[in-house]
Copies of this chain bind each other. A is one copy, B any other.
Amino acid sequence: MADKKELRIGLIGCGFMGRTHTNGYKRVNDFFPEVGYRPVLKTVCSRTEEKVQAFADQWGYESIETDWRDVIARDDIDAVDICTPNSTHEEIAVAAAEAGKMVLCEKPLARNVEEGQRMVDAIEKAGVPNTVWYNYRRVPAVSLIKHIIDSGKLGRIFHYRANFLQDFTINPDVPQGGEALWRLDKEVAGSGVTGDLLAHCIDTAMWLNGGIKDVSAVAETFVKERVHQETGEEEKVEIDDACIFHCHFDNGSLGLFEATRYARGHKALYTLEINGENASLRWDLHDMNRLEFFDYADEPEVRGWSSIHVTEGEHPFMDKWWVPGLSIGYEHTFVHQVADFLKSLDNDEPCSPTFKEAQETQKVCEAILDSASSGSWKETGVEW
């Protein structure tokens, strides 16, 4: 440890994502001893002093800040990690980049394409290392999908389908806005399930199956009004509660995507399936250590969907953890992304998904929302 370089982290935001990222920083060297950097929890920032102090105490940050500008102004910060609501991403990221800081930004990159583009421009101008926390790519089973596809086992792809089903806003008494529920406030979040959930599905999809060319979408807001926590008033809900779209990928395959917060019985059911000429794959987040694989090359008599318990040394990331048969969980995806970010610094290479890649997902999200409001197909303009 002594010979590792320090990577001094300034974390902005100390909510749920602040916890997942911090856990990633704290664990990475225990399990990825080969990386050249050692994250140091230099400071954490949030507007409410009492809250941020408690967070710093619990997690071991050396100091606190209550204005994110002060984090960026500090000389002892190498990397700024943005875990604040979407409406603040642009301003912080641009300032951090201009100050020459590395930037790690929680997804989605921004509220819209316009903001995202300014962020990409600033990052590229500054030439600083950067990444966006689309963490699900680094579920070992999902990384294994990528590996299997790259091996050519699937052949021509016909279908890609994914959904992300939750049920946490069914109750109309759930309010909108405020610290806990900004995801329901369009001004802060930019969109509802499209940016929150579909963005994950789209990032994975384009990573695995290439660019999405055009989309046709429908969105719905089932509960039309909710009390806003900042005003105390019933206000119109402007985000999309549910959104469905189909699309063409650049490779000619058909895509089908759905996200909702109104699927009773599902908490974080991100599922994906890809059907190729010669093989198919499917996965879901509720059973994240398993991957199902159908290979037409198997003997007809014993051909079936194989349930792979992705916990073997041969599987992505799994040689770092325990022994075959023993599972890892959600939080490990963030440890993996930290590890890959640190390796990218070692090797002076980009850490995917970069801001630039995340902006392509942003384009798809915007095309979806446009299509949903216009009722017609939209080109995405994605370059993958």
State the copy count for this chain: 4
The smallest C-beta distance from A275 to any residue of chain B, in angstroms, reads 4
A268 with B332, Cβ < 8 A, contacts A216-B218, A263-B275, A287-B287 known: no
Q: Does A377 contact B (CB under 8 A)?
A: yes
Q: Does A44 contact B (CB under 8 A)?
A: no
Question: A residues 283-301 with Cβ under 8 Å of B?
Answer: 285-296, 298, 300-301
Number of interface residues of A (CB under 8 A): 96
Interface stretch, picked from A91-99, A104-112, A320-328, is: A320-328
The smallest C-beta distance from A200 to any residue of chain B, in angstroms, reads 13
Interface pair A325/B264, CB less than 8 Å apart = no
Interface pair A305/B302, CB less than 8 Å apart = no
Q: Does A152 contact B (CB under 8 A)?
A: no
Q: Is the interface of A mostly helix, strand, loop or mixed?
A: mixed
Closest to A144 in B: B301
The contact of A329 among B22, B262, B305, B332, by CB within 8 Å, is: B332
In the complex the two chains form, what is the Cα distance from A264 to B153 in whole Å?
12
Q: Does A178 contact B (CB under 8 A)?
A: no
Interface pair A220/B30, CB less than 8 Å apart = no
In the complex the two chains form, what is the Cα distance from A326 to B330 in whole Å?
6
Interface pair A1/B58, CB less than 8 Å apart = yes
Interface stretch, picked from A81-89, A252-260, A341-349, A351-359, is: A252-260
Q: Does A279 contact B (CB under 8 A)?
A: yes
The smallest C-beta distance from A154 to any residue of chain B, in angstroms, reads 8
Q: Does A315 contact B (CB under 8 A)?
A: yes
| A-B CB contact pairs (8 Å), 18 listed | A2-B57, A16-B323, A22-B30, A26-B30, A27-B27, A33-B58, A158-B222, A170-B277, A216-B218, A260-B275, A264-B280, A265-B280, A266-B275, A267-B324, A295-B302, A326-B329, A328-B331, A329-B329
Closest 5 CB pairs of A and B: A267-B325, A268-B325, A265-B294, A304-B308, A326-B330
Contacts A245-B246, A306-B306 aside, 12 further interface pairs with beta carbons under 8 A come to: A1-B57, A16-B323, A26-B30, A29-B58, A159-B262, A167-B275, A168-B324, A254-B260, A264-B275, A269-B325, A286-B327, A289-B327
